[in-house]
C-alpha cells in the first residue's frame, strides 16, 4: 500500500508541477471575472423589487466570494506569476509576503466557511418558503429580518470558530548557512505522522466536520427535499386548480428558480465535499497530506474559485427576473436609438414580475425569487 501511495504521489507531484506554471494566470483571470460579476450580483439582487430572503442570502454570498478572490489575486501574482520557481528565495519567501500568505490562508478558510453555511441557510430558507409560502407583508418582512440576523451570526461564528486554526498557522525562520540568506516558511503541521500535535489534530477534525462535512450533509438533505417538494407542489396545482397556460408559465419560472438554487447547492457539494474527505484522510492516513493533499492544492483552489465566479452565469441563464433587471440596469444605455422602447419594455416587464410576486403572497402561490 505504501508503494502504491508513493507511486501515486510521484504522479501527482509531476502533474502539480506542470499545472503550477499555468495556475497563477488562470486563477487571476477567474478572480477578475468573478469579482466583476459578483459586484453585478450584489447590485442586481439589492434592488428594491428584488428584495427577498433568498436574494439577501445570495447578496452576502457574493460578498464572501469577492473577499476570497480579492485576497487570492495578490497571493497568486506573487507566488505563481512573479516567482514561479518552487525553490524558496529571500524575495519570494520574505517575512512580509509569508505573513500575507498566512493572512490569506486564514481569510480564505473563513470565507469558505461563511459561503458554505450561507448555502445551507439558502437551502433551508427556500425549503421553508415552499412548504409555507408567504401570505402577508408582515410575515415576509419577519422572514427577511430573520435571514439578516442568521447571515450576521454565520459571519461572526465562522470567524470565531476558526480561531484555533488561525493559531496553528505560524511562520518559522530558516537560515541557509551556505548563502547566509533568511527565508520564512509555514510551520509543518506534520499531518499523517506519528508525532502529530494533538491540538493540530483537533483543529483539523473540527474544520473538516464543521466547515465541510456537516454543511454538505445538510445541503444534501434540504436540497433533496427542495427538489421533491417543488415537484409535488407543481403536480398538485396543475391537477387541482387546472391552471391556465399563463399560470403554467409562471410555475415553470418558479421551478426554474428552485432548480437554479439547487444548482448553486450542487456546485458547493462538488467543490467542498471532496475537500472535506481529503482533509479527513490527511488526518488519518499516513503521509496522505504530503503525497496527495498538497499536490492537489492548486486544483482544489481553482475549482473553488470557479465556483465563486459562476453564480452570475447561473442567475442570468435560469432567472428571468434577474436577467431582465440586469439588462435594465446596465445594457439599455448602449442602445441610444431604441433606448426608450427597450427601457419601457423592461420596466413594464419588471412591474409585471413584481405584481406576480405580490399576487402570490395573497393567493398562497410559490413566491418568485431572484
Which among 304, 367, 296 is positioned nearest to 19, based on CA atoms? 296
Q: Report how far residue 271's alpha carbon sits from residue 300's, in angstroms, rounded to the nearest whole number.
A: 8
Q: Report how far residue 179's alpha carbon sits from residue 94's, in angstroms, rounded to the nearest whole number.
A: 15
Q: Report how far residue 10's alpha carbon sits from residue 67's, in angstroms, rounded to the nearest whole number.
A: 34
CA distances from 123 to 92, 191, 205, 351 (A): 42, 34, 25, 27
Q: Report how far residue 57's alpha carbon sits from residue 53's, in angstroms, rounded to the nearest whole number.
A: 6
Task: Write the DSSP assignment of 265-315 as a string of letters.
Answer: HHHHHHHHHHHHHHHHHHHHSTTHIIIIITTTHHHHHHHHHHHHHSHHHHH
pLDDT of residue 44: 95
Contacts of 10 (CB under 8 A, 6+ apart): none
90: phi then psi, degrees, rounded to nearest 5: -60, -30
Q: In this structure, are residues 356 and 250 in contact, taking their beta carbons and an 8 Å threshold?
A: yes
Contacts of 167 (CB under 8 A, 6+ apart): none
pTM greater than 0.85 = no
Three-state SS sequence of 25-66: HHHHHHHHHHHHHHHHHHHHHCCHHHCCHHHHHHHHHHHHHH
pLDDT of residue 219: 93
Contacts of 216 (CB under 8 A, 6+ apart): 116, 268, 269, 272, 273, 276
Please measure the distance between the N-terminal and C-terminal CA atoms of the chain and give it in whole angstroms. 50
Q: In this structure, are residues 172 and 211 in contact, taking their beta carbons and an 8 Å threshold?
A: no
74: phi then psi, degrees, rounded to nearest 5: -65, -35
Q: Report how far residue 339's alpha carbon sits from residue 345's, in angstroms, rounded to the nearest whole number.
A: 10
Q: Report how far residue 1's alpha carbon sits from residue 16's, in angstroms, rounded to the nearest whole number.
A: 22
- Domains identified in the chain and CATH numbers: 1-360 (1.20.1070.10)
pLDDT tens-digit profile, the chain (370 residues):
555 556 666 788 888 888 998 999 999 999 999 999 999 999 999 998 888 899 999 999 999 999 999 999 999 999 999 998 878 888 899 999 999 999 999 999 999 999 999 999 999 998 888 877 766 677 778 888 999 999 999 999 999 999 988 988 889 888 887 777 889 999 888 887 877 888 888 889 999 999 999 999 999 999 888 888 877 776 776 666 555 444 555 555 566 777 788 889 999 999 999 999 999 999 888 889 888 999 999 999 999 999 999 999 999 988 888 998 999 988 865 444 444 444 444 445 555 544 444 444 444 333 333 3
Q: Report how far residue 39's alpha carbon sits from residue 67's, in angstroms, rounded to the nearest whole number.
A: 11
Q: In this structure, are residues 19 and 301 in contact, taking their beta carbons and an 8 Å threshold?
A: no
171: phi then psi, degrees, rounded to nearest 5: -90, 145
Amino acid at each position: 500500500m505504501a508503494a502504491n501511495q508513493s507511486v501515486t504521489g510521484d504522479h501527482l507531484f509531476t502533474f502539480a508541477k506542470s499545472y503550477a506554471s499555468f495556475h497563477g494566470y488562470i486563477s487571476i483571470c477567474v478572480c477578475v471575472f468573478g469579482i466583476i460579476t459578483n459586484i453585478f450580483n450584489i447590485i442586481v439582487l439589492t434592488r428594491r423589487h428584488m428584495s427577498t430572503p433568498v436574494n439577501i442570502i445570495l447578496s452576502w454570498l457574493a460578498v464572501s466570494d469577492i473577499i476570497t478572490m480579492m485576497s487570492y489575486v495578490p497571493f497568486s501574482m506573487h507566488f505563481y506569476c512573479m516567482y514561479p520557481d518552487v525553490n524558496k528565495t529571500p524575495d519570494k519567501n520574505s517575512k512580509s509576503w509569508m505573513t500575507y500568505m498566512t493572512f490569506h490562508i486564514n481569510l480564505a478558510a473563513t470565507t469558505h466557511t461563511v459561503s458554505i453555511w450561507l448555502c445551507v441557510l439558502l437551502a433551508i430558507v427556500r425549503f421553508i418558503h415552499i412548504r409555507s409560502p408567504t401570505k402577508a407583508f408582515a410575515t415576509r418582512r419577519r422572514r427577511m429580518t430573520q435571514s439578516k440576523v442568521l447571515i450576521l451570526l454565520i459571519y461572526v461564528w465562522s470567524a470565531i470558530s476558526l480561531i484555533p486554526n488561525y493559531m496553528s498557522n505560524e511562520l518559522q525562520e530558516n537560515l541557509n548557512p551556505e548563502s547566509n540568506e533568511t527565508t520564512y516558511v509555514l510551520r509543518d503541521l506534520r499531518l499523517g505522522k506519528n508525532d502529530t500535535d494533538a491540538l493540530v489534530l483537533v483543529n483539523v477534525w473540527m474544520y473538516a466536520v464543521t466547515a465541510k462535512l456537516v454543511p454538505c450533509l445538510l445541503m444534501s438533505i434540504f436540497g433533496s427535499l427542495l427538489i421533491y417538494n417543488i415537484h409535488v407542489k407543481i403536480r398538485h396545482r396543475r391537477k387541482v386548480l387546472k391552471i391556465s397556460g399563463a399560470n403554467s408559465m409562471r410555475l415553470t419560472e418558479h421551478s426554474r428558480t428552485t432548480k437554479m438554487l439547487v444548482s448553486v447547492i450542487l456546485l458547493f457539494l462538488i467543490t467542498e465535499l471532496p475537500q472535506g474527505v481529503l482533509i479527513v484522510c490527511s488526518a488519518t492516513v499516513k503521509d496522505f497530506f504530503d503525497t496527495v493533499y498538497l499536490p492537489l492544492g492548486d486544483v482544489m483552489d481553482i475549482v473553488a474559485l470557479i465556483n465563486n465566479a459562476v453564480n452570475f452565469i447561473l442567475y442570468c441563464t435560469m432567472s428571468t427576473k434577474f436577467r431582465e433587471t440586469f439588462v435594465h440596469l446596465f445594457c439599455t444605455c448602449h442602445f441610444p436609438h431604441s433606448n426608450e422602447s427597450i427601457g419601457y419594455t423592461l420596466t413594464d416587464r419588471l412591474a409585471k414580475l413584481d405584481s406576480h410576486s405580490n399576487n402570490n403572497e395573497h393567493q398562497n402561490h410559490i413566491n418568485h425569487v431572484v
